[in-house]
Amino acid sequence: MPQQPVRIAPSILSADFAKLGEEVRAIDAAGADYIHIDVMDGHFVPNITIGPSVVKALRPHTDKPFDVHLMIAPVDPYIEAFAEAGADIITVHPESGPHLHRTVQKIKCLGKKAGVSLNPATPIEVLDYILPDLDLVLVMSVNPGFGGQSFIESQLEKIAKIRKRIDLLGKQIDLEVDGGITTGTIGDAVAAGADVLVAGTATFKGGPDMYAANIQALKDLGLKATGGSKA
């Protein structure tokens, strides 16, 4: 099965929190494919961001898929709230609960797409008995908790190995990478097999007038890394 097209998921963690609705509308118009929403609890990761009420408030501002990354533990008690708030994809960490399969099934039963995220030191073997049930695998190329970090090069090998597993399975599963994605790193991530790139700082730098150019630059470099060229 051919690799899916390169898509950009701007992380609103890098947006202006004083006007989030306006920022979401701006990145939608600028060509975002997904809206990536980082949820942090100050426990599982060392930062606190937003909860389901903010996701619900943002939902009317765009029809683009809400790609909600739950960096919280325990995660199970909050899945339904984020589903009801308007999440389209709900991604969890294997370490955020005792029964990953049960967590994934809960997401699917709520009619949402399910993702699993691997921290830099989390081995790919955690996917052994869950990959066929997933819609997305998220490789963290930084340690989760803060935006603006540098890409961890060792994750390229992990991306490539997961790409092979997805291809062997023959199912369309997004292979997403989050952390340190810039015009300097996106090519390597895509060449390794990523097809959804979370970009916070790289999308929002320069303000709203630059969002479209920032996203297009990332897409062009991602396309080039697949061996394609801009139409």
Q: Which residues are catalytic?
A: 38, 178
For CA atoms 175, 79, 62, 30, the dihedral sign is negative
| Measured distance CA(201)–CA(180) in Å, rounded | 8
Pick left, alpha or beta for residue 148 (phi over 0 → left; psi -120 to 50 → alpha; otherwise beta).
left
Distances (CA, A) of 197 to 56, 69, 70, 205: 24, 13, 17, 16
Of 114, 105, 52, nearest to 78 (Cα)?
Answer: 52
Coil, strand or helix at 11: strand
Distance of alpha carbon 41 from alpha carbon 123, whole angstroms: 23
User: CA 53 to CA 50: how far, in whole Å?
Assistant: 8
CA distance 144 to 142: 6
User: At 7, which amino acid appears?
Assistant: R
